[in-house]
Amino acid sequence: MRKFAQAIDTLNENAGYYSAFLVLPLLCVVSYEVIMRYGFNAPTSWGFEATTFLYGVHFVLGLGYTHKHNGHVAIDVFEVRLATRTRTLLRIAVNLIIFIPTMGLISIWSVIYAGTAWMQGELASSSWAPPLYPFKTLMAIGFVLLFLQGIAKLIHDFHHLNQPVFSGENPL
């Protein structure tokens, strides 16, 4: 199981690393749109939508990476006061009761959502009308990566429970 968790960690590490490069085309599109809009008074019909798509893909493909590195918003005022073992048990409980079911359903429905977009050949309702199915597919991939990272964290937490408690540390 640990190898499976490490494979997920590696997958999300790579997804996060490579999706970070989407900032470059995003920067180019935004710069081009600003120059065209304010420099030449000729805004593009595609600039805003392309910016939204690029940022959305950048954001959603980084979800698993951010979860791996504990970068999501958390209220840990109470958790930091707990002993290590109790904190791990709390993380396991929250993961099993809230995170896994919620992200599992979101992952399933985002895959269905993307599949429906492919079957319908869905296009945006703007004058540019780009196809939406590639972006919805990337959205589904991002949610699946986040779900998998939750499973990896659960495996790591269960493994952590099996580690010996050091003297001087309150086990519960």
At residue 73, the pLDDT reads: 82
- Return the number of other C-beta atoms located less than 10 Å from residue 40's C-beta: 8
Task: Give 166's DSSP letter.
Answer: P
- Return the number of other C-beta atoms located less than 10 Å from residue 54's C-beta: 20
| pLDDT tens figures, 94-104 | 999 999 999 99
At residue 109, the pLDDT reads: 98
Mean pLDDT computed over every residue of the chain: 93
Q: What is the reported pTM? A: 0.90
Tell me what the mean pLDDT of segment 21-30 comes to.
97
pLDDT higher than threshold 70 for residue 166: no
The per-residue DSSP string of 92-145 comes to: HHHIIIIIHHHHHHHHHHHHHHHHHHHHHT-B-SSSS--BSHHHHHHHHHHHHH
Q: Is 171 helix (H, G, I), strand (E, B) or coil?
A: coil
| pLDDT tens figures, 64-84 | 999 999 998 877 888 888 998
* Ranges of each domain in the chain: 2-161
Q: Give the list of residues 6+ apart from residue 125 with CB closer than 8 angstroms, or none.
A: none
